[in-house]
Structure 1
Amino acid sequence: MTQRDPGVYLEDIEYCADAAVRYTAGYSLAQYLADDKTRAAVERMLEICGEALRQLDRAAPDVASRIPYTREIIGFRNILAHGYAELDHHKVYAIAVIHAPELLAAVRTTLKEFPEP
């Protein structure tokens, strides 16, 4: 199996964190809870963030360590992927609105260290 460049994982995280932020922009919690399509899209984007970070941590732990809350993000990905019955939509919303922008900023800062293809 060919190992991907760490920058590619970071780009995946950047895209998906940005999408989660965009999908919830202007949404109140009540609007978010009432919109099952948006909930599903946000959950998927956050799941991909966690999986890409998990893969980045395996391929380049030194790079992954620059992203705050790596373990927590990976753990939340596991809840999204495997623990859907216990999923708290209030928590997902808070993560998308509060923490995804923080993740996005950290990833963008880290991406500056990688040359453009």
Structure 2
Amino acid sequence: MSKRTPGFLLGDILLSMERIATYVGEMDQQSFASDTRTVDAVVRNLEIIGEAATRIPEEFKSGHPEIPWRRVVGLRNRIVHEYFGVDIGIVWSVVSHDLPQLKSQIQDIADKLK
């Protein structure tokens, strides 16, 4: 497994979430879908989030059941394995609805590790 501690991995996740928020800004779904650079940047950072979540030890994850770890990793797997078949609607839903709450939860855990 990773030599990076869960705290560092959570930091990677938070950094990617912040980047996504910066890239998307005030966009709506239509603007997002038509901006391939932003879509590519967001998808890449979702991959990083999923990869970092994959590297967090299972015992740490089981201690934080409030985080939907399987969904986080699953999205990464889906993005990586489907390549050009990524559903922009799903990506937008994750970015606009799921990430803000998830970011808050991850931040709470990271703060407790400091």
Both structures adopt the same fold (TM-score exceeding 0.5): yes
Q: Deviations over 1:91-111 (max 9, x none)?
A: 101111111111110111001
Cα distance in 2 between the residues matched to 1:27 and 1:6: 32
Contact 1:53/1:70, CA 8 A, preserved across alignment: yes
Percent identical across equivalent pairs? 25
Number of equivalenced pairs: 114
Aligned pairs for 1:1-117 within 5 A: 3-58=3-58, 60-63=60-63, 65-115=64-114
Q: What 5-or-longer segments of structure 1 have no aligned partner?
A: none
Q: Deviations over 1:14-66 (max 9, x none)?
A: 00012112211210111111100000000011110111011014473345x34
Larger CA deviation: 79-88 vs 91-100: 79-88
Tell me the TM-score normalised to structure 2 length: 0.89
Larger CA deviation: 15-24 vs 73-82: 15-24
RMSD: 1.8
Larger CA deviation: 14-23 vs 37-46: 14-23
**Shift in CA distance, 26/75, structure 1 to aligned 2, threshold 3 Å:** same
Cα distance in 2 between the residues matched to 1:40 and 1:2: 26
Contact 2:16/2:49, CA 8 A, preserved across alignment: yes
Q: What 5-or-longer segments of structure 2 have no aligned partner?
A: none
Tell me the TM-score normalised to structure 1 length: 0.87
